[in-house]
Copies of this chain bind each other. A is one copy, B any other.
Amino acid sequence: MAYVLSEMTWPQVKEAMETVKLALLPIGAHEQHGPHLHESCDAVLAERIARKIADELHPSVLVAPTIPFGMSMHHIHFPGTITLRAETLLQVLEDIIWSLKQHGLENFLIVNSHGGNQSLLSVASAQISQELQVNVTYTKTTASAKESIKKHVHSDLFGHSCEREVSESLYVAPEIVREDHLAKGEIQEGPWRWLRPGQAIQGFYYYDEMTKNGAIGNAPAGSYEAGREIVEEAVKNTAEAARKIFDLNPNFISRN
């Protein structure tokens, strides 16, 4: 039901623009996800969840094509990982948003499922909003599903190829899960522990300093049901927030 730009012809886009006020920009990453998830995991999740948000907000939003790459330097030592430089990704976002602005869009919500992109997106939100005179916002796909995560995710260390991500995948994209290879993170000690979010000091470390198999958390504990609850809670919360921020109703007035 949602307007998905990559599956539309231009006359369909033209017609959709009569009601569309917001573009969702899914962004993922192409990086190792342990022995049990495809490397495209983040891109696939971002796209599937963006479509769900778009379903909720139809016909006020459209889903732009997914950016399949992100900032993945942390994972570069694992085979298959691809990373963009910060300036490159900033410019990709600016070019896409510039293009969509030509068609009349001025509100953007980047739907991101890769934690490693969040900082760059925060920077992009400020800079592109100002330079292109548009409203650029961003969301981490399921970060707002606080209740379901509390209920279903019990690892001390989670957030990558863990039970949360496996659950989400089982619900929205089971084809990317190798269920017969689900494995807990093989954590090893190192300075990374003192550089994690919430610590006094933060900073870059390679993921292979932290985990031998590239996963953290407890992937085997993931389930379709947990995924369903997490994703649906997040979609509901994000859609609700979008409605308020962008005033997705007939008497919408742009902030610009």
Contacts and interface: CB of A to CB of B under 8 A. Distances in A.
Interface of A: 5-11, 13-14, 17, 30, 32-40, 43, 64-69, 71, 73-74, 76-88, 90-92, 95-96, 99-100, 102-103, 109, 116, 118-120, 122-123, 125-127, 129-130, 135-139, 143-144, 176, 178, 181, 191, 194-195, 199-204, 214, 234, 237-238, 240-242, 244-245, 255
Contacts of A181: 9
A194 B66 CA distance: 25
Contact of A99 (B38, B81, B255): B81
Contact of A135 (B83, B122, B203): B203
Pick the most buried of A33, A116, A144, A204: most chain B CB atoms within 10 A of its CB: A204
13 contacts: A10-B33, A14-B79, A30-B65, A65-B82, A68-B68, A76-B130, A86-B86, A125-B202, A129-B204, A138-B203, A199-B241, A201-B238, A201-B245
- Among A36, A39, A90, A144, max chain B CB count under 10 A is at A39
A137 B201 contact: yes
A130 B65 contact: no
B65 A40 contact: yes
Contacts of A123: 71, 86, 119-120, 123
B95 A125 contact: no
Contacts of A83: 95, 99
Contact of A90 (B6, B36, B87, B136): B87
Nearest to A103: B79
B6 A43 contact: yes
A88 B82 contact: no
A238 B83 CA distance: 28
B238 A200 contact: yes
Given A66-B68, A77-B102, A137-B201, 13 more contacts: A5-B40, A9-B178, A11-B79, A69-B92, A71-B126, A73-B130, A86-B86, A86-B123, A86-B127, A91-B91, A122-B202, A137-B203, A143-B200
A233 B164 CA distance: 34
A39 to B, nearest CB: 6
B95 A139 contact: no
A150 to B, nearest CB: 15
Contacts of A85: 91, 95, 127
